[in-house]
């Protein structure tokens, strides 16, 4: 059971110029797990965000996700051998103006010497079509400690102003 929940660094709030990527670097290895909380919107139409861990951009990411879109049946998707993970979703220009998606990315045992697993959840907000809830899980088949996390929209999209990202460290003792 986690008994600490400490913000690492400071919350990023994207300015008026937008941003192509948000990077957390030099993450200390003193926690057990990491949690990133996101409130995101992009200026394009790409539905999902991408993230990489420890600067690893080779085809070592695999993932599965379940999603529901507010009507119709739930569905799923899976990917293997990707150069990034892609189970975090975002609001974009298809969604009601000024609405933002809420997401979490959890990385247990991030500083250990085993392959790195992760889980994600996202809720895409809109007052019309396009609402979405996505639960994902995946693996980075690389044993590097997670000392950095990069989160970015599908190019050429950018994060818009007021997108935020916060990183937390969690200890189990």
Binding region for other proteins (CB under 8 A) out of 10-18, 90-98, 103-111, 135-143: 10-18
Lay out the site mask for other proteins across 108-127 (x = CB under 8 A, - = otherwise): --------------------
For residues 137 and 87, is the Cβ–Cβ distance under 8 A? yes
Q: How do beta strands 75-82 and 33-40 pair?
A: unpaired
Cβ proximity to other proteins, 127 vs 155, nearer residue: 155
Q: 32 with 109: CB under 8 angstroms?
A: yes
The CA angle 52-152-108, to the nearest 5 degrees, is 40
CB of 14 to other proteins, least distance (A): 7
Sign of the dihedral through C-alpha 86, 90, 92, 95: positive
User: Contact letters (x/-) for other proteins, 27-46, by CB under 8 A?
Assistant: xx-----------------x
6 or 127: CB nearest other proteins: 6
Residue 138 touches other proteins, criterion: CB under 8 A: no
Taking CB under 8 A as the criterion, which residues in 43-82 touch other proteins?
46
Q: Which residues contact residue 6 at a Cβ distance below 8 angstroms, ignoring those fewer than 6 apart?
A: 31, 168, 169, 170, 171
* Candidates 6-14, 67-75, 106-114, 117-125; binding stretch for other proteins (CB under 8 A): 6-14
Residue 157 DSSP label: -
Residue 65 φ then ψ, to 5°: -150, 150
Window 142-161: residues binding other proteins (CB under 8 A): 154-156, 158
Q: Which of 4, 5, 6, 25 binds other proteins (CB under 8 A)?
A: 25
- Least distance from C-beta 26 to other proteins, angstroms? 4
How far is it, in rounded angstroms, from Cα 7 to Cα 17? Answer: 25
Q: For binding to other proteins (CB under 8 A), which residues are involved?
A: 8-10, 12, 14-15, 17-28, 46, 154-156, 158, 167
């Amino acid at each position: 059971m986690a008994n600490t929940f400490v913000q690492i660094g400071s919350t990023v709030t994207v300015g008026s110029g937008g941003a192509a990527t948000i990077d957390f670097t030099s993450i200390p290895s003193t926690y057990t797990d990491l949690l990133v909380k996101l409130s995101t919107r992009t200026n394009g139409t790409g539905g999902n965000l991408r993230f990489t861990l420890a600067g690893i951009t080779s085809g070592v990411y695999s993932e599965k996700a379940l999603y529901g879109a507010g009507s119709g049946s739930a569905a799923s998707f899976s990917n293997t051998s990707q150069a990034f993970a892609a189970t975090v979703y975002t609001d974009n220009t298809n969604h009601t103006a000024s609405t933002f998606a809420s997401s979490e990315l959890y990385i247990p045992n991030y500083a250990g010497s085993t392959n790195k697993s992760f889980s994600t959840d996202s809720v895409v907000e809109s007052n019309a079509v396009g609402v979405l809830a996505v639960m994902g899980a995946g693996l980075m088949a690389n044993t590097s400690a997670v000392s950095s996390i990069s989160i970015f929209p599908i190019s050429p999209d950018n994060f818009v102003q007021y997108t935020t990202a916060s990183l937390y460290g969690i200890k189990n003792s």
